[in-house]
Amino acid sequence: MNASETRPRPTISDVASDAGVSIGTASKALSGSGQLRAETRERVLESARRLGYQPNALARSLQSGRTYTVGLMTSDSVGRFSHPLMLGIDDALGAGRMSVFLCDARGDAVREQYYLDSLLARQVDGIIVTGWRTDLRPPLGGGRLPVPVVYAYTHSADPADVSVLPDDEQGGRLVGEHLVATGRRRIAVVTGPKGYEAVPQREAGLRAALADAGLEPVPGQVLYGDWSESWGQEAVDILLAQQTPFDAVFCGSDQIARGVADQLRERGVKVPADVALVGYDNWEVFASATRPPLTSVDMNLEELGRTAARRLLDLINGTPRHGAERLPCGLVVRESSRPSISSSPGVTDGFAVR
């Protein structure tokens, strides 16, 4: 082939032949629609990648009546929660060759309405709404929209809407079970503002796990503040001033836990020899930089994003769904919560300034 010649563009028929399936099956695999076995869908996608197949977007839209585009509306301008969510969303939508329009409303209702109007004008097939907290929010556009909407890491106030959330109560339970299993018995709680939906949920999970072991948080030690290192430092001074022994601290975020770790070290308290420490979010920049490295609850945000995208595809394809779906969290164990050293196995007397 000389420089002036071009290779013919591969067709869907070429993809189907290469994958050993019918054209109809190849079409379903490439569009992310239909009920196909995972291995069949992946074989078709691999053939398309190897052959360099690119569908004709205009023809595809005319044939299906869809634009194969999705709007992603976020209010998390920092990106702490929206970035891993977007990775998962892109994974799921990319398999069906769906394009995503990203809109950052920055928590501004006027900006959100502007972007909503823009997305509807582009005739997107659906919209995913993400947030920086899991609390209830008004339905997008008042809830009467011509396209399906799924909420991820935020909770629509309309129970008919689909919301995908981390199971924060289960995350708190994981912490309680872990601390009890590592020999801790006097567990204090330092967390964020009471007004956040996640705060009482995480505390409830911890309390349930401790109750199973015949325990409860150290009396009077549930401290509420803001999501900051400075609050974690302040909380340590409060805990120590009360002179109630404690051998573990469960923090409502990794930022708080980083502040707790720094202030405990300043006050001569060793982590984890004297006090175990567990955070929440598994925010790598904080968890790995904390000394010692921080045990933390991982909300599995990428999987949460993938699930939200799959739920949106279900709605686009006519499968009815509604209500809130809570996905399990995981616990990433690091040095800050290793088992305590005690004369009695599994039991520690706790630490307090005298």
Q: What is the mean pLDDT of residues 149-172?
A: 96
The set of residues, in sequence order, having a beta carbon less than 8 Å from that of 216 and lying 6+ positions away, is: 207, 210
- The residue ranking higher by pLDDT, 303 or 79, is 303
Confidence at 57, pLDDT banded by 50, 70, 90: low
At 79 the pLDDT is 66
Does residue 74 contact residue 104 with C-beta atoms inside 8 Å? yes
At 32 the pLDDT is 67
Question: How many Å apart are CA 228 and CA 260, to the nearest integer?
Answer: 10
At 346 the pLDDT is 35
Q: What is the mean pLDDT of residues 271-275?
A: 96
- The residue ranking higher by pLDDT, 273 or 28, is 273
Collapsing DSSP states into helix, strand and coil, what is residue 36? coil
Nearest to 73 by CA among 142, 167, 147, 149: 149
Does residue 290 contact residue 232 with C-beta atoms inside 8 Å? no
At 61 the pLDDT is 47
In whole angstroms, what separates CA 308 from the centre of its chain? 10
Strand partners, 246: 351
Query: E strands within the chain?
Result: 69-74, 99-104, 126-130, 136-137, 149-152, 155-156, 162-166, 187-191, 222-224, 248-251, 276-280, 295-298, 323-327, 330-332
In tens, the pLDDT along 30-49 reads 766 667 888 888 898 888 88
Confidence at 78, pLDDT banded by 50, 70, 90: low
At 36 the pLDDT is 83
**Residue 187 pLDDT > 90, yes or no?**
yes
Query: E strands within 168-275?
Result: 187-191, 222-224, 248-251
Least confident of 19-33, 106-120, 287-301: 19-33
Q: What is the mean pLDDT of residues 210-233?
A: 94
- The residue ranking higher by pLDDT, 35 or 176, is 176
**Residue 52 pLDDT > 90, yes or no?**
no
Confidence at 1, pLDDT banded by 50, 70, 90: very low
Does residue 201 contact residue 193 with C-beta atoms inside 8 Å? no
Nearest to 295 by CA among 268, 247, 237, 335: 335
Confidence at 112, pLDDT banded by 50, 70, 90: very high
pTM of the model as a whole: 0.79
**Residue 343 pLDDT > 80, yes or no?**
no
At 342 the pLDDT is 45
At 353 the pLDDT is 34
Confidence at 311, pLDDT banded by 50, 70, 90: very high
**Residue 59 pLDDT > 70, yes or no?**
no
Nearest to 12 by CA among 1, 26, 25: 26
Q: What is the mean pLDDT of residues 323-345?
A: 81
At 349 the pLDDT is 40
The distance in angstroms from the start CA to the end CA of the chain is: 86
Confidence at 344, pLDDT banded by 50, 70, 90: very low
Q: What is the mean pLDDT of residues 216-237?
A: 93
Torsion sign over Cα 184, 189, 190, 191: positive
**Residue 63 pLDDT > 70, yes or no?**
no
Does residue 273 contact residue 210 with C-beta atoms inside 8 Å? no
Q: What is the mean pLDDT of residues 71-90?
A: 85
In tens, the pLDDT along 150-161 reads 999 999 999 999
At 243 the pLDDT is 85
Torsion sign over Cα 207, 203, 279, 74: positive
Region label for 180, one of left (φ > 0), alpha (ψ between -120 and 50) or beta (otherwise): alpha
Does residue 327 contact residue 303 with C-beta atoms inside 8 Å? yes
Question: How many Å apart are CA 279 and CA 281, to the nearest integer?
Answer: 7
- The residue ranking higher by pLDDT, 292 or 285, is 292
Q: Are strands 222-224 and 187-191 parallel, antiparallel or unpaired?
A: parallel
